Chain A
Amino acid sequence: MNSQLLASPGQRAGTPPSPHRGDTRHNPTKGKFAAQHRRRMFRADLLTVALWASLAAALALWLADGGVSSVGNATQAVTAVGILAGLAGMDLVILMLLLAARLPFVDGAVGHDRALEFHRKLGKPALYLLLAHGLLLATGYGMAEGLNPVSEAVALWVLVPDMWLAFVSMALFIAVVVTSLVAVRRRFPYEFWYFVHLLTYLAVATALPHQFSVGGLFAEGTWQRWYWLLLCIGTGSALAWYRIAKPVIATYRHQLTVRRVVRVSPDVVSIEMTGLRLNELSGNGGRFFVWRFLAPGMWWQAHPFSLSAEPQVGPTSNRSSRQPSLRITVRNLGAGSARLASLKPGTKVAIEGPYGVFSTAARSRDRVVMIGAGIGITPLRALLESTPFAPGQATVLLRGSSPEELFLGQEILELCRKRGATLFHLTGPRAAHGRNTWLPASADSSRLRDFVPDIADADVYVCGPTAWAGQVLAEAKSSGVREEQLHYERFDW
C-alpha cells in the first residue's frame, strides 16, 4: 500500500489524529465557521425563494390584469394558457441568464458550477414553455377567427408587426437548446456550441419586441409593463457589468503577463504570471479564474483554471524572483490546453474571476478533508496553503496511477508538514475486477473512514475526474457527510 502518513510534529505517527473527537460532531452550530456556514445556507435558501417567487410573479402579472375573468370559453382558455406559458417561459429564460451572469451573490451562495448546473436544468422546461406559448396562441387565435393554427401562424407572421421577430426568436431558442443537449453537444467541437450559445442573446433580443407591442398585458401605461421592463433591463445590465465590464476592469487592473512556463511532468505545465495588485487576489485558494492568453490564435479561448498556489506577494516570497506572481497548473486535456505549454514569456493575460466556492468561503466545520486525483490535486494545493485549520485537523488524500501523477506532490508534502496535516498517497492502478472504486487495487478494501475516522464532522473537498469524484462523493455521503459539507469542483467543462 502506497499510503504515507505524515503526522504533524509532536504527534505519534500511525495514529489518526483526532484530538477533539466528539466535541463538534454533527453540531454545525459551533466552531469558527458556523456563522459563515449559516449565512451561506441562508443565501442559498433566499435564492430558491426568489426563483419561485419570480415565476409566481410572472403568472401574477396576468392574474392582476383580470386574466381569470377574461376566460369564458374554450378558445379563451387556450389563449390564456398560451399567454401564461409565454410568461413563465420568458421568466425562466431571464432566470437562466441571471444564473449565467456570474452574480457574486449567486456565486457566493452556491458556487458557479452549481449555478450553471441549474442553468442547464432549466433549458428544456424553458423551451417547452415557449413552444407551448407559440402553439397555444396560434390555436387560440385561430379558433377565434375560424382559422387553422398554421394559417393563423402565417397571418401572425405577415400581418402583425414584430411577430416575425418572435418566430425567428423561437427558431434560435430551439437551436440553442438542441445544441446544448449532451448527446448533440458531444458531436461538435466546443467552439461550435459556444457560438450557437451566443445566439441566445439574439434570441432574447428578437423575443422582446412582440412582448411589448403585441402583448396587451404589457401595454403602455400599465405597471406590468414597468415590472417587465425593469426585469429585462436589470438582467441586461447584470450581464453587461459582470460578464463584460468586470473582466475588462480586472484585466487592466492586474496587467498579468506570463513570466515562465515550467514543465511539471510530460503533459503538465505550471504557468507563472506576474502582475499588479496581486494581493487583492489572495485568499482565493481553490477558486478558479477564467484565463485568456492574448497570443495569436489563442486569445478567443477561455480556460477555467484554479490557482495552484496562493499569489506570491512582495519580498517575503521565497521564490527566485521577488516580483508578485501567481500560478496555475495545467494538464494537456485538449488541443486548447496543449498549446498552453508553448506559451511565450511576456504574453499578456486577460482574467475573469475569481469564481466558485471551492474555497474557505464554503467551510462549515473546523475539520477539513481534501481528496484529489490527477490534475485535480492542484486546486487542493492552493486551498491547503490558505484555508485555516489547527494542526491535526486536516487530512489530504491524493490519488494517481503512479507517483509521478501526484502533481505538485512535493509541495503538498511540505505544506502538510508545515501545517500539521495528515497526508495519504494512493497510487497504483485500479483493481482489475472492475468494481467501481476510487481507490487503487492495493487499498481496495479500505474505506474512507479508515483514512479519516472523523469524516462525518469535516468539510470534504473533492476535485478530480467526474466518475472518480462521483464515487468519492457517494462514499462520503454513506459515511455520514451531509450534502452541505461536500464541496466538489468540476473541471471537465
Chain B
Amino acid sequence: MRFRAGISAAFASAAILLAGWQAGAHVATSNASAVTTSSTGTTGGTGSTAATGSTAAGTTGSSAPGSSSGNGTSSSLGASAKASGTYAGEAVQTRFGIVQVQVTVKAGAITDITALHLTDQEQRSVQISARAAPLLRSEVLSAQSANVQTIGGATITSDAYLTSLQAALDAAHF
C-alpha cells in the first residue's frame, strides 16, 4: 500500500514539476521578445524629451532630487493656470533596476504618462513592470494625481513609479 502511494506521489510530483518547467520555458521565450519591444519604446521616449542626461544623473541614488526637465512652455499666465508640457521625473533606483517616468500635462490635466525606464534587472522584473505600468498609468490618469494604490505583486516598481511621477508633477507645478 505504501509502495503504491510512494510511486503515485513520485509520478504526480514529477509530472507537475515537468509541466511547470515546460510552461516556464515558454514564458521565457515570449518574454525575450517583450524585452526587445519595451526597450525600443524606452529609447524612443528618451530621445524625444532629451531626458537622457537626467537619467544618467539620477542613477546615482534614489535620494537624488527630482531632476526633471520640461521642454514644454512653462506657463506664466497666472496662479490659476497650470503648466502644460512634458516633464520627466526623477530616476528612482530600486533593487530591480531604475524607474523613471515622464508625464504630459495639458491645460491643468495629466493627459499621458510614458515610462522612460522600468525595472528590468531580472527576467521577472521585466514581466512585473510590463504588467504594472499600464495599470498604474490608467489609475493615475483617472485619479489625476500620483496618490494611487500600489499594484499587488509589484510594490517596489509601483512605489518607484509613483515617486518618479510625483517628482515630475512637482516640476510641472501640477
Please list the residues of chain A having a beta carbon within 8 angstroms of any beta carbon in chain B.
41, 44-45, 48-49, 51-53, 55-57, 59-70, 76, 141, 144-145, 160-162, 212-222, 225, 484
User: With A219-B132, A220-B152 in contact, do A63 and B9 touch (Cβ < 8 Å)?
Assistant: no
Q: How far is the CA of A64 from the CA of B16 in the complex (A)?
A: 10
- Whether B13 pairs with A55 at a CB distance below 8 angstroms is yes
B31, A66: Cβ atoms closer than 8 Å: yes
CB atoms of B10 and A67 under 8 A apart: no
Name which of B17-25, B38-46, B81-89 contacts chain A: B17-25
Q: A160-B156, A219-B132 are contacts. A53–B16 as well, Cβ < 8 Å?
A: yes
Minimal Cβ-Cβ distance residue in B for A223: B23
Known: A45-B1, A55-B13. A69 touches B153 (CB 8 A): no
Per the bound structure, the CA–CA distance linking A61 and B19 in Å amounts to 10
Task: Give the distance to chain A from B14, nearest Cβ to Cβ, in Å.
Answer: 8
Q: Check if B153 sits within 8 Å of A68, measured CB to CB.
A: no
- Bound complex: CA A52 to CA B8 (Å): 10
Q: How far is the CB of B26 from chain A (nearest CB, A)?
A: 8
Q: Whole-angstrom distance between the alpha carbons of A225 and B6 in the complex?
A: 29
| Between-chain CB contacts (< 8 Å), 10 pairs | A48-B5, A56-B13, A66-B127, A68-B21, A69-B24, A161-B159, A214-B155, A216-B153, A222-B153, A484-B1
B116-133 to A contact mask, C-beta < 8 Å, 1/0: 000001111101100110
Q: Closest residue of chain B to A83, judged by CB? A: B124
CB contact between A53 and one of B12, B132, B156 (< 8 Å): that residue = B12
**Is B27 within 8 A of A66, CB to CB?**
yes
* A-chain residues with CB within 8 Å of residue B132 when the two chains form the complex: 219-220
Bound Cα distance A49, B21 (Å): 20
Most buried by A among B4, B19, B153, B156: B153
Taken together as a complex, chains A and B put the C-alpha atoms of A4 and B144 apart, in Å, by: 91
Q: In this complex, what residue of B is CB-closest to A60? A: B20
| A218 to B10 alpha-carbon distance, docked (Å) | 26
Closest to A220 in B: B152
* Residues A66 and B16 in contact, CB atoms below 8 Å apart: no
Interface string of B32-51 (1 = CB under 8 A from A): 00000000000000000000
Which of A41, A49, A55, A76 has the most chain B CB atoms inside 10 A of its CB? A49
Contact indicator A220/B156 (Cβ below 8 Å): no
Q: How far is the CA of A126 from the CA of B65 in the complex (A)?
A: 44
Using Cβ atoms and an 8 Å threshold, which residues of chain B touch A144?
95, 121
Please state if B16 and A220 are interface contacts (CB–CB under 8 Å): no
Query: Any chain A CB within 8 A of the CB of B28?
Result: yes
Complex CA–CA separation, A62 to B156 (angstroms): 19
A220 to B127, CA, bound (A): 11
**Which B residue's beta carbon lies closest to that of A214?**
B155
On chain B, the residues within 8 Å of A215 by CB distance are 153
> Given A45-B4, A66-B31, A160-B155, does the pair A51, B20 have CB atoms closer than 8 Å?
no
Set A49, A57, A70, A220: member contacting B122, Cβ < 8 A: A70
CB of B123 within 8 A of CB of A70, answer: yes
Q: How far, in Å, is A218 (CB) from chain B's closest CB?
A: 5
CB of A52 within 8 A of CB of B20, answer no
Q: How far is the CB of B140 from chain A (nearest CB, A)?
A: 16
Does A65 lie within 8 Å of B24, measured CB to CB? yes
Given A160-B155, A214-B155, A49:B5 Cβ within 8 A: yes
Asked whether, in the complex, the Cβ of A52 is within 8 Å of the Cβ of B4, the reply is no
Extra 12 A-B pairs, beta carbons < 8 Å, given A56-B12, A66-B25 = A56-B17, A60-B17, A60-B21, A61-B20, A64-B24, A66-B28, A76-B122, A160-B155, A161-B150, A213-B150, A220-B151, A225-B152
Distance A484 CA – B21 CA, assembled complex (angstroms): 37
Chain A positions within 8 Å of B12 at CB level = 49, 52-53, 56
Question: Which residue in A44, A52, A57 is a CB contact (below 8 Å) of B10?
Answer: A52
How many Å lie between the Cα of A51 and that of B122 in the bound state? 32
The answer to whether A63 and B153 have CB atoms under 8 Å apart is no
Across the interface, do B155 and A225 meet the contact criterion of CB distance under 8 Å? no
Near A by CB (< 8 A), chain B positions 47-89 give: none
- Nearest A residue to B93 via CB reads A145
A62 CA to B23 CA in the complex, in Å? 10
CB distance from A151 to the nearest CB of B (A): 13
Nearest first, the 6 A-B pairs at minimum CB distance are A219-B153, A60-B20, A63-B20, A69-B28, A56-B13, A45-B5
- CA–CA, A420 to B85, complex, Å? 99
B45 to chain A, nearest CB (A): 24
Do A219 and B31 touch across chains, with their CB atoms under 8 A apart? no
